[in-house]
Amino acid sequence: MAVFVACAAGDAQYCWSNMERATTQKSRTRVFVGAYFLKDHTVGDRERMSEKIEIWGVKDPNISAQLAVADLMGLFQHEVGLDVTCKFLESGTTMPGDVLSAEKKPFAFTQTPITCIILHEKGLPTKLVAPLADIAGTQQVIIREASAIEKPSDLEGKQIGMAQGAAVFIAIKNMSKDCNVNLDNVQFTHLLPHDQLAAFSDEKLDALACWEPWTTKAQTMGGKFFFSGSRSEIPNMEGDVNWLVNQSCLIIPDDHLAQKPEVALAVIKVLKKATELINNQRKDISKLLADFYGISRLELMMAMQKNRYAMDMDSLFRIGVLAFRDFLFENQRVSKRFTEPMLYTTKYLELVAPELVKLLAPSETKVEIVEKDGIYYPSKIHFDYTNGSPLKFLLADDSRYVRIALSQAVKTIGGEVVGEATTGSEAIELFGQLRPNFITMDLSMPGVSGVDAINGILQQDPRANIIVISGTNLDEVREEVFNLGVRMFITKPFDPKRVAALISSLVQ
């Protein structure tokens, strides 16, 4: 089998026959200048670049697709002259232990932020240096049709199979906040994926909470997709959601970053190339990867379609990292909440591709915040509103349940809902068209995050009255949005009547 992949203009074309590579190359020698080095290119730099390094991944297209592409296509040698050996583990759950027990640590590895945080707890400082893929869509809840689960509240009293500490629980938790499901009434049974399938087949479970490819297998056994971290098929609530930010990332130990920064930059450059190939040459790349993963091309394409292969380091990336940190701390998997500078750095990705770093610059404004019963507000709270004017609201939330509850609250105080948005970009556009007095804003929505939407709206009108209503209750993010100019922050789940009474008292 021969596969041809057209690369970027001016680059070589590659051809494989039975996975043997023949290339036409402009040169095997690359000299890095400018942004690709943190310091001047020296003989010592060239020697370090020629050293053999090892990068670990997982034999999983969700976590390590770019690494597999780079390895199979020889991109490390061709693009940057690196001698790289790639090792692919069978399961990402063993990554922290395998890294810690390795006599020689891999130079880098691909995994989710959970691995980075756990390694910090175990005494091995590492950094997330670049996101690789948003894999929230692969974290899914599959229901058994005979279990009579039709709406979220039907999960109460039911038995769900789930591996302890699995990321999919964050999606379940955020769904429960939006839909007022009491998870204390849900019975979670700790089972690994293959045991979940066996119990599901034997009708011992009402649902399973797992990830691809196990969830697709569950559907072939008669299961029905209910929701994932990024998509809902809940009746009357179908559509994109953002109940989980779960990204595969390039992770590098701090020692390696200090010793070989130029190698880190080279690795990022190669994985960026692999990302572009996956997105622009998916048909040809899927043929290559299907053989590597030992699955059919159809299975591979179905799994990859649920992922978004992108390296943007933005507000959603930040929310995802901090959400995992707090999740692990609250479940006593780690002993403290590690600070952001300990967990990730933007400087390496910024040197390779500055356009991919989209985090907002920290505000110099500091707002004193008080909290009462899950409601946060500045000590000197005020709304920019003329008494007697019509109360016009724009509701921005990806959950239909939440928008219905908020609509009822607005009617209670004699207000009018003039528009509804399900994404951050829609919120920005509708605000410009409708100019409401008040905007309610969820922080974690598909596409443009609520944080970026807040910034975009306040650029249009610095006096906009924005009320955050969100299940994303992270100290650092809450501080950021108040510093931007948010007037109030209400945590989910919330009481619509209480919210209505509070807003009414403040606008009188």
On whether both 205 and 335 belong to a single domain, the answer is no
On whether both 196 and 87 belong to a single domain, the answer is no
On whether both 294 and 337 belong to a single domain, the answer is yes
- Residue at 170 is within a domain: yes
On whether both 377 and 251 belong to a single domain, the answer is no
On whether both 127 and 150 belong to a single domain, the answer is no
Domain containing 493 — which CATH number?
Answer: 3.40.50.2300
- Residue at 301 is within a domain: yes
On whether both 212 and 154 belong to a single domain, the answer is yes
Q: What gap in Å lies between CA 141 and CA 160, rounded to an integer? A: 9
On whether both 212 and 185 belong to a single domain, the answer is yes
Give me the pLDDT at residue 16, please.
34
- Residue at 364 is within a domain: no
Q: 177 falls in which pLDDT band (50, 70, 90)? A: very high
Domain boundary among the residues 198, 223, 240 is at 240
Give me the pLDDT at residue 366, please.
80
Domain containing 299 — which CATH number?
Answer: 3.40.190.10
pLDDT tens track for 465-506: 999 999 999 999 999 999 999 999 999 998 888 888 888 887
Q: b/e map of 299-327 (b: 16 or more CB within 10 Å)? A: bbeebbebbbbbbbbbbbbbbbbbbbbbb
On whether both 157 and 236 belong to a single domain, the answer is yes
163: exposed, middle or buried (Cβ count in 10 Å: 0-12, 13-18, 19+): buried
pLDDT tens track for 28-60: 223 333 333 444 444 455 555 667 999 999 998
Domain boundary among the residues 356, 385, 407 is at 356
Nearest residue to 66 (alpha-carbon basis) of 245, 297, 211, 249: 249
On whether both 122 and 266 belong to a single domain, the answer is yes
On whether both 131 and 251 belong to a single domain, the answer is yes
- Kindly report the backbone phi and psi dihedral angles of residue 397, in degrees, each rounded to the nearest multiple of 5, phi listed first: -165, 140
200 secondary structure, DSSP code: H
- Residue at 24 is within a domain: yes
Residues making up the chain, counted from first to last: 508
Give me the pLDDT at residue 47, please.
55
3-state secondary structure 110-158: EECHHHHHHHHHCCCCEEEEEEEEECHHHEEEEEEHHHCCCCHHHHCCC
Nearest residue to 488 (alpha-carbon basis) of 452, 464, 460: 464
- Residue at 362 is within a domain: no
- When divided into structural domains, the chain yields a total of 3
Can you give the residue range of the structural domain that contains 67? 2-135+246-356
In contact, 410 and 393? CB cutoff 8 Å: yes
- Residue at 361 is within a domain: no
Percent of the chain at pLDDT exceeding 90: 73
On whether both 117 and 154 belong to a single domain, the answer is no
- Residue at 363 is within a domain: no
pLDDT tens track for 258-308: 999 999 999 999 999 999 999 999 999 999 999 999 888 988 998 899 999
Q: What gap in Å lies between CA 416 and CA 432, rounded to an integer? A: 17
pLDDT tens track for 347-386: 999 999 999 999 988 777 788 999 988 899 998 888 888 7
Per-residue pLDDT at 19 exceeds 70 = no
Q: How far is CA 79 from CA 7, 8, 50, 314, in A?
A: 12, 12, 13, 27
Domain boundary among the residues 240, 270, 289 is at 240
Average pLDDT, the chain: 88
- Stated as kind and residue range, the H or E segment containing 161 is strand 159-162
In contact, 324 and 113? CB cutoff 8 Å: yes
- Residue at 16 is within a domain: yes
On whether both 262 and 128 belong to a single domain, the answer is yes
- The token duo for 104 is 């020689």
